[in-house]
Structure 1
Amino acid sequence: MENLQSKTVAEMVTENIKTAHIFKKYGIDFCCGGGISLEKACEKYSVDYRLLSQDLLNVDQSDSRAVNYNKWELDFLTDHIINVHHSYVEENIPLLLQYSERVAQVHGSHYTELLEIKELVKEVAGELSAHLKKEELILFPFIKKMMKAKKDNIELPPAQFGSVDNPIKMMETEHEDAGELLRRIARLSNNYTPPQGACNTYRAFFAKLEEFEQDLHQHVHLENNILFPKSLLLEKELRSNQ
């Protein structure tokens, strides 16, 4: 992404659809009003050019180091899930809701599947928002209590929900529900493939949906396959020692 100053907003989005989400974050019109330079856009929308250009330059940065999450302590893993995946969901749900509303409004009469996708996005947003709170307020704090009990060699206090297996089963069910909603969206959107000649907002919406699904897959993997099984074993170990 060189020579940012010489490119228009629309050109940048055309070259890399991920930049659309950066422009959306700063309130810059990249669709109909995208034919202006980055500097002009910053002037028009009162955006700090340095901050915007830094975000644009980092849009493709990813940490390629292999991470062995299986070796992490459970309290550290819960913090990682909150700071990375919960934050991602909270930051991107408003974007998805805006995109879905806009695209359905403009193109829904011709591509009627967008109307159903919009409703499914609302459903996903509502379900995940409630789901994250349950994890952050109930399940994860108890996992941290278990880790503290093990490290300090103290007795584990009883939980209001009985065994940790109970909230874990609920979280796994909700994971499956959210996954099914996203699978329906994927089918309706032809695996996030916009129609030929789709505008940049349409393309950005589908790209963000695909990215959102990929993040959720990693998020659920860390919980279902690492955090939850290890939490069940830890509780069993602690209870047997009491």
Structure 2
Amino acid sequence: MENLESRTVAELVTENIKTAHVFKKYGIDFCCGGGISIEKACKKANVDLEILKQDLLNTKNEITRATNYNSWKLDFLTDHIINVHHTYVEENIPLLLQYANRVAEVHGHHYTELLEIKELVHHIAGELSSHLKKEELILFPFIKKMVAAKENGSELPEAHFGTTANPIKMMEEEHEDAGEALRKIASLSNGFTPPESACNTYRAFYAKLDEFEQDLHQHIHLENNILFPKCLELEKELRNQ
């Protein structure tokens, strides 16, 4: 990894998904905020650059066909995002809402941050529900049409939203909104760390929030750093035929 400090966080994670674990370890955003250099990311997170670089260099670059998302066809990648990440969100949001409501009701009088966390969880649930449908019903089907057009040598299909830059901009803004809400939750919960006296439901809630954040980071990374840029490139190529 030459000139590591000048490479962006997103570039490294796109090349080797295992580096995401290193960035997660040091609290460095690799999805929404992954467009900045390693050096800037370290300054922002108050992390020693040399220590981070060593951890990154120690990460084995064992990219297999199963994890080399950057090489996947866009239609296959959209199916993967829906089947893995959209399904995860849809299955876990109801559980998070139950936990949030219950824990806030029982412990919110003493741990008042739980009341704000509950509101943030409800906000995320509402926003992501709408977000996933827009991707599944509008943007992703159009991406598949573009892939088919390239393979068949046909013209770019018409879209009621103009260019894909319009829905992509909206999706990225919604990603940032969900990411910011989870950052607030992480801060309020001391990094999803329950108090020593916490009951099992309280502990399960924080563990599920931690898991949910990790999945969302991977989800947003695949879209912001791989799917969306390649979608824009494909559209440009088809328009210039």
SS of 2:170's equivalent in the other structure is helix
Structure 2 counterpart of 1:162: 162
Q: Does 1:138 align with 2:135?
A: no
What CA RMSD, in Å, does the superposition of the two structures yield over aligned residues?
1.1
2:211 equivalent to 1:211: yes
Select the structure of larger CA radius of gyration.
Answer: 1
Counterpart CA distance in 2 for 1:176 and 1:165 is 16
SS of equivalent residue, structure 1 residue 193: coil
Tell me which amino acid in the other structure corresponds to 2:154: I
Aligned length, in residue pairs: 178
Structure 1 stretches of 5 or more lacking a match? 1-63
Structure-2 residue corresponding to 1:32: none
Unmatched 5+ residue regions in structure 2? Answer: 1-62
The corresponding residue for 1:234 is 234
Summarize the alignment of residues 43-192 of structure 1 with structure 2, pairs less than 5 Å apart. 67-192=67-192
Query: 1:140 deviation in Å?
Result: 0.3
- TM-score, normalisation: structure 2: 0.73
Classify the secondary structure of the residue corresponding to 1:109: coil
Counterparts of 1:207 and 1:109 in 2: how far apart (Å)? 21
Q: Percent identity?
A: 78
Residue 101 of structure 2 aligns to a residue in which SS?
A: helix
How many angstroms does 1:158 deviate by?
1.5
Superposed CA offset, 1:202-234 (max 9, x none)? 000000000000000000000000000000000
Shift of 1:127: 0.3
- The one-letter code matched in structure 2 to 1:163 is T
- Misfit runs of 4+, over 4 Å: none
The alignment partner of 2:195 has SS state of coil
Listed one character per residue, the Cα deviations across residues 7-29 of structure 1 (whole Å, up to 9, x for unaligned) are xxxxxxxxxxxxxxxxxxxxxxx
What's the CA shift for 1:156? 1.4
Aligned twin of 1:196 = 196
Cα deviation, residue 83, structure 1? 0.1
Equivalent position SS for 1:88: helix
